[in-house]
Structure 1
Amino acid sequence: MLDLGVLSERIIATHRIPARAGRYADVPEALNEALREALTQRGITQLYSHQAEMIDLALDGRDVVITTGTASGKSLAFLLPVLQTLLEDPSARAFLLYPTKALARDQLRSIIQLAEELRAGGGGGRRIEAGVYDGDTPPSERRRIRDKANLVLTNPDMLNAALLPAHGRQGMSHLLRNVRYVVVDEIHTYRGAFGAHFSNLMRRFLRLCRHYGSRPRFLASSATIANPAGLAAELCHRPFEWVHEDGSPAADKTLHFWLPPKMSDDVLRSVLSELARLTPHLIEQRKKTIVFTKSRKATEVVVKEARDRLSRVHGDHNEGHLLGAYRGGYTPAERRRVERDLIEGRLLGVVSTNALELGIDIGGLEVVVQGGFPGTRASFWQQLGRAGRRGGEAHAILVLGMTPVDQYIAMDPSWLVDQDAEHAVVDPDNLAVQLAHIRSAAAELPLTIDDAAVWPDLAEVLPVLVEAGELREVRGTWHWTGGAFPAGDFSLRNNDGDRFKIVNRVSGQTLTEMTRPQTYREAHTRAVYLHDGDQYLVEELDLVGHRVVVVPVEQNFYTEPDVRTHIDVIVAQERYEVGLTQAHFGDVRVDESVVGYKMLQFHNHQNLGYERLHQDLTIKLETEGLWWEIPEFVLQTLGGEPRDALRGVVHALRAVSRMRTMAERSDLLATSFATNNLRDGKTVTAISSVINSFKQAVEDKINLKVTSDLNKIKS
């Protein structure tokens, strides 16, 4: 029973998701007897129907993607056929790719347990050698994995920067020569720019496999999206079978829609304030809770304010230690401590970014709280799936904010719960992304004319690299003559590979590392950097040495960067007639500058003042964009509004664009800007959705649907 007390007045609608009975199937006869015995030791005499279906397809040699719910046993479904192959063929190898380090290490625990059960039953568990190969793996363990492991758990970043470039080293060539399976977990996370990079990474991987004479099969899992088989095919360059009928049982789940009260200026109370009040209430009710926020800063603010409230439970009793924080930027030791404390019950709640959205097992949670609609229905359902993993009734609370989508959900909750998930969009043929991976591929093996079947724009890229002195033609092959490590020149997850160390001057400890864009926003001079609820003041930002010096402080405010965006149109490639105006697609130059910061008081979030930075911190990017001209009569109408209505349209545009493409927040930027009309040269105002590395998303998705969707979403 969920008792919200006086806070229940915020609930504007409730949706019940009824329990679902399980559907079972016999363990496939083709499954190895040793694996059958290991399942029996676990008390498993039957499988869920979707597990049996996937195992049958995998053992039949198919490439398969599965999209059943959270905690439905997807991992066991793809792991059993892989283990069977490894038990039957001692030389066989398999790669298991996970989007995060934490997820890989969580899965390693399950694999080790299953291997021990195989060994105890005399089924050959000694033949299963598994290990995680990531940035935290010490050199001795890396050597063991390369030389002995037949089950390698890693992430795309390590495959790109460490494994493929070292394919000629002892152990690595043996892995690639004998790889039989590649498992891609949480495949829905590979979309937008990250997906484009991953698709090209798989092109390089399969190219090396062909060189060594192997042809691995792919097994993939995904959250519920509209096109899992299509996405898997785009990423892995194979047709896929799709398993989607979920046979696992599910407990009752109740979804509560929460609308904050209005403040004196007719603006809703902020989502952060609501989370900071709701979270301690749930902890005091002894409800095991996860709270999702949309950013690292939001996670830290909610944790700090919620712990302040928990420090005064029943007078002077401090229960702040029952609430943890989890986000990117924490050390591996910090992340694993939180995971362990959740499982073992030392924490009752955790505030997290979407870093815990994926399938890491963090014990039985009873309540999921979402700080605003997460951007896609796929993420919405994925986060809801974190509660109720151990059975029993579960609750989810969606705290709605002032964004256009949130307010539309407040008016019509059925829009969220009754419609299908979105299509995931990826553009593997983006020229900039192809270029990065063609350079890396050339350093791995000389390029040949046959590689034009791998990269469609190879003929356009080759002369550019030859002229730049990075390739040398030798009898119809192109050999790499550039830098020693081209795979290190880019990041799969963003366009800026620069890293800055955040160093505590008092202790000398490195708290974390950040990318350049993160550093500019969170660690500019005089910024307050928050880490697990602790406050640090930035004393020095060394742009040359890539170092940020901070000191611990205790004060009543945090900082929020003032970010200004400027767009210049380089060239308009296409024009579309849209209603009373025109839409244009083309190349743009984006300058995103942090020019100052606000000081916001904890708890009430009042603005205590504004400071201008002595030096603007600017990120420059040339990319592609879609923009709409705003007719003059519309501007005149909007100019009479008491608020900036054009800004509301911009927010709606970005929201719709993200939903239509399932893009990450970092993939799409929307703003208004002045540009020259291409017909008569006059200056016009336009609103734009700027695309970071994937043109196909715009052409195929935004253009077709964004206008109708903007009519639905009220700014």
Structure 2
Amino acid sequence: MSRDENLIKSLEELKKIGIINDSITAIKHIPARQGRYMAYPSDVHPALIKALQEKGFTRLYTHQNLSWQLIKEGKNIVIVTPTASGKTLCYNLPVLDSILKNPSARAIYMFPTKALSQDQRAELDETIKLLPEEIRIFTYDGDTPQDARKAIRARGHIILTNPDMLHAGILPHHTKWIKLFENLQYVVIDELHNYRGIFGSHLANILRRLKRIANFYGASPQFILSTATISNPLEMAEKITEEPVSLVDENGAPQGEKYFVFYNPPVVNKFLGIRRSYVNESRRVASIFLKNGLQTIVFAQSRLITEVLVTYLKEDIEKTIQQKGLIRGYRGGYLPLKRREIEKKLREGKIRGVVSTNALELGIDIGSLDVAVLAGYPGTITSTWQMAGRAGRKSGKSAAVLVGTSSPLGQFIINNPDYFFSKNPENALINPDNLSILVSHIECAAFELPFVEGEKFGSQEIGEILKFLVDEKLVHFSKGKWFWTSDAYPADGVNLRSISSDNFVVVDTTEKSKAIAEVDFSSALTALHPKAIYLCEGEQYFVENLDFEQRKAYVKKTDVDYYTDAIDYTKIKILDSFDQKNLGKCDISHGEVHVATQVVGFKKIKFHTMENVGSGDLSLPQNEMHTTAYWLTIPSQIFHSLSFASEEKINGLFGLTYCLHHVSPLFMMCDLRDVGVSVGDNSTGKSVPPRDIRQKTSHKEDKDIFSDIDFEPNIFIFDNFPGGIGLSPSLFDLEKELLKQCLKTIAACPCKEGCPSCLGPVKESGKQAKEVALEILRIIIN
């Protein structure tokens, strides 16, 4: 049978299982699309055209041609086309052409991961070998040998790097890179959608520093950005570069026929809403395709699940066929040589199945596979399409299967396929002017070049910040300039993936003491508290001691059948309301808040069954911060008019909070951990403790808050970062949309009283939580 026939056969097998279990919510057929082409423009260097044609690129897609025209007009561009649509040539063509015509021209290519930069290096090397002139390209990252760095600085035409290396290894040493900065013509930023939240906010400031240094040496580079589909690519590109940008989003690349299946694990306990394990169902789905000889990639949500699925699929496939090496894993933590070997064998078709974390979501060349199975919704529609795009050739059939998890967000997507296929509602959000991030990069910029009085940093007036740095004895003002005077090397103190660099080191004391991981301060309180089970590389560690002064957590290897989940109590106080809207029967606001979170206990959760098998009390120091928040106010008369007992109403309130927390990332393109939630009283400003804390507490005042006739609930969703990064204002702009999607999620769930898929497990949400939450939503939406 042909590959296409095997694919159709496999889909029929999957459909049969779906009909028996009522588990397929959608099969979307995406028809093949013809490519649209144009000849190479006459002003491209003839040698470059010849080299590309020898590689098989006989002509350009229409979006590649448009990119060329806009760049030649001196414009910055952002390219938004799907996976495997030839985005790389959009920037390689103008860069290589410029260097062939002017050998002193230079370019910086920035990629979010080392693996992606190595892959792009291989692509460039193939083209350059076919050119008559020498073009020197070098990778400059943490693995670059010290003795090679001098030659790279002097000779490199194209420098392939990442934001971390640009931040700490290139910009602070710009005097060693004079040739690069004097002749810098292009800055290429690939996979722009990855630079959202904290990471993107840092990158925007790194680009402010890069432009400042380039201008000092007389250069003004053009920016070429590429991204997967997001709803605000132009806004994101302009915010991150602080330059006008032109959009290229008409895809001219051909696309083969594709089937996209939404598969929901069957319900095994309707009352509790418990479904079959999504891991086991992903194994079952992948095995169907693998047994029919189809090259398949399975995307897992964590390193642990990756290894579990590799083990399962090896049992299913390799033992049956009696051939080793057909199923492989791929994730961070594997050595680079092993990853390159797996990539090569995938391209050659020697590996039939690979299980990967999102490490293979980015544009690493692994050839064109037949099937992508997504074990769980990846968290964003953009990532889902990126992963699904890993299967599919320019011609012929392919398939993608999304296997739903029990989370409210996973269930919303799997039960609302029309929502998924009809639009991309996700905005990539950044806040370059977060004060903590801004100050840390102004320190770095002052180290690199003195600030002249009145000079802006990007669009920001920074006189007050520089005066603050004088008080801190970090800079000195003299003759109209601000000079860095501290002995410190400021770039070392900035972690691009968090706001604070105040991290905890995890020390394994099982045999010889050795550091195995680093955890940021706020996560350490919930992941590294005493008696926690800390997971790293699939290994379990018992936390014996958390040393606050030394910022160290001491752990020992263990082997237990549970993990721990911290119970925290967040108290929130409104400091300032920036804006408020009345939606008829409720109010929404966003503004600045003070958040105080304390870890007060932990639960032991059994693997696979997710049962609560024990708990413990803790009393850790409070973690306090100022941040931004969105809050929903339910009028007291509506809340008190509900025909339920006082405790049941509060159960419903916390159930609704759980659902809002889990569904809100759908609109913010962020991780669940990037936002926190809390419930408060609008009339008194007090916070309401969650149910598991209320049951333990004997404080009458806590229990009496919601009995008061004036009690008016506020549900807060706040940015889990000091100063905020722009997540909560986006919820404010949604008005009733977020509430409607929560109503859909809860109403569609088959459980009776609440479950992990809607309001949280029934033991935690409490009696009547589902009825109350539905009643509140129906009243305030209508």
TM class by shorter chain equals 0.7 to 0.9
Q: 1:371 to 1:516 in 2, by over 3 A?
A: farther
Alignment of 1:184-333 (within 5 A): 184-264=189-269, 265-294=272-301, 296=302, 299-301=303-305, 303-304=307-308, 307-308=311-312, 310-311=314-315, 322-328=326-332, 332=336
Residue 352 (structure 1) shift: 3.4
2:449 to 445, 449, 453: 445
Q: 1:427-453: per-residue Cα shift (whole Å, max 9, x none)?
A: 323333222211211111111234226
CA distance in 2, matches of 1:190, 1:482: 31
1:29 correspondence with 2:34: no
Q: 1:631-652: per-residue Cα shift (whole Å, max 9, x none)?
A: 4456564767599433443244
Q: Which residue number corresponds to residue 585 of structure 1?
A: 591
Q: Which residue number corresponds to residue 58 of structure 2?
A: 45
3-state SS, counterpart of residue 430 of structure 2: coil
Q: Is the 8 A contact 2:80 2:249 kept in 1?
A: yes
3-state SS, counterpart of residue 219 of structure 2: coil
Q: 1:221-243: per-residue Cα shift (whole Å, max 9, x none)?
A: 11122232222111112111211
CA distance in 2, matches of 1:592, 1:116: 59
Q: 1:354 to 1:457 in 2, by over 3 A?
A: farther
Higher mean C-alpha deviation, range 433-442 or range 299-308: 299-308
3-state SS, counterpart of residue 609 of structure 2: coil
CA distance in 1, matches of 2:431, 2:183: 30
Q: Is the 8 A contact 1:307 1:319 kept in 2?
A: no
1:140 to 147, 155, 158: 147
Q: Is the 8 A contact 1:652 1:710 kept in 2?
A: no
Residue 570 (structure 1) shift: 5.9
Look up the equivalent residue of 1:705 and give its one-letter code. L
Q: 1:362 to 1:85 in 2, by over 3 A?
A: same
Residue 622 (structure 1) shift: 3.3
CA distance in 2, matches of 1:434, 1:47: 41
Look up the equivalent residue of 1:585 and give its one-letter code. G
Q: 1:617 to 1:189 in 2, by over 3 A?
A: farther
Q: Is the 8 A contact 1:30 1:59 kept in 2?
A: no
CA distance in 2, matches of 1:42, 1:452: 47
Residue 537 (structure 1) shift: 3.3
Look up the equivalent residue of 1:493 and give its one-letter code. R
Identity %: 31
Q: Is the 8 A contact 1:193 1:667 kept in 2?
A: no
Q: Which residue number corresponds to residue 598 of structure 1?
A: 604
Alignment of 1:95-134 (within 5 A): 95-118=108-131, 123-124=132-133, 126=134, 128-134=135-141
Runs of 5+ unmatched residues, structure 1: none
Q: Which residue number corresponds to residue 382 of structure 1?
A: 386
Q: 1:316 to 1:290 in 2, by over 3 A?
A: closer
Alignment of 1:489-508 (within 5 A): 489-497=493-501, 498=503, 500=505, 505=510
Q: Which residue number corresponds to residue 149 of structure 1?
A: 156
CA distance in 1, matches of 2:593, 2:57: 57
CA distance in 1, matches of 2:50, 2:741: 55
Q: Is the 8 A contact 1:600 1:606 kept in 2?
A: yes
Residue 501 (structure 1) shift: 5.4
Runs of 5+ unmatched residues, structure 2: 1-6, 687-704, 747-782
CA distance in 2, matches of 1:340, 1:707: 49
Residue 302 (structure 1) shift: 5.1
Alignment of 1:47-62 (within 5 A): 47-62=60-75
Q: Is the 8 A contact 1:404 1:652 kept in 2?
A: yes
Higher mean C-alpha deviation, range 366-375 or range 496-505: 496-505
Higher mean C-alpha deviation, range 378-387 or range 493-502: 493-502
CA distance in 1, matches of 2:573, 2:344: 50
CA distance in 2, matches of 1:259, 1:68: 29
Q: 1:356 to 1:706 in 2, by over 3 A?
A: farther
1:574 correspondence with 2:602: no
3-state SS, counterpart of residue 370 of structure 1: strand
Q: Which residue number corresponds to residue 749 of structure 2?
A: none
CA distance in 2, matches of 1:442, 1:245: 42
CA distance in 1, matches of 2:145, 2:506: 20
1:161 correspondence with 2:165: no
Q: 1:360 to 1:547 in 2, by over 3 A?
A: farther
CA distance in 1, matches of 2:660, 2:725: 17
1:701 correspondence with 2:707: no
Look up the equivalent residue of 2:110 and give its one-letter code. L
CA distance in 2, matches of 1:275, 1:483: 54
TM, length-normalised to structure 2:
0.81
- What count of residue pairs does the alignment treat as equivalent? 700
Q: Is the 8 A contact 2:310 2:355 kept in 1?
A: no
Q: 1:247 to 1:80 in 2, by over 3 A?
A: same
1:84 to 84, 97, 121: 97
Q: 1:52 to 1:447 in 2, by over 3 A?
A: same
Q: Is the 8 A contact 1:74 1:221 kept in 2?
A: yes
Q: 1:88 to 1:694 in 2, by over 3 A?
A: farther
CA distance in 2, matches of 1:633, 1:319: 69
